Amino acid sequence: MSTVVAGLIVLLFLPFLLSLFGTAAIPKMLCLVASLIAALLAVKFYIAVVPWLAGMAVAGISVRAG
């Protein structure tokens, strides 16, 4: 696996990784689902932006609140 592919996977799962710093369980699940959808839609990278942004919004709010 090349470094670019590993970096893309980490970038796509960044909302889920960020949500792990929160305490609630529901935002973790929402971020995991958003990251999985983004990973499945990443065949064309610009299509994966919307679920990624939604996951980042949920993760940011959960970390800030918790």
Count of CB atoms situated within 10 Å of the CB of 13: 19
Residue 29 clears pLDDT 90, i.e. is over it: yes
Residues 30-51 have a mean pLDDT of 91
Q: Distance between alpha carbon 48 and the CA centroid of its chain, in Å?
A: 10
Global pTM value = 0.87
**Tell me: the pLDDT tens digits for 42-64?**
888 788 899 999 999 999 999 99
Count of CB atoms situated within 10 Å of the CB of 51: 21
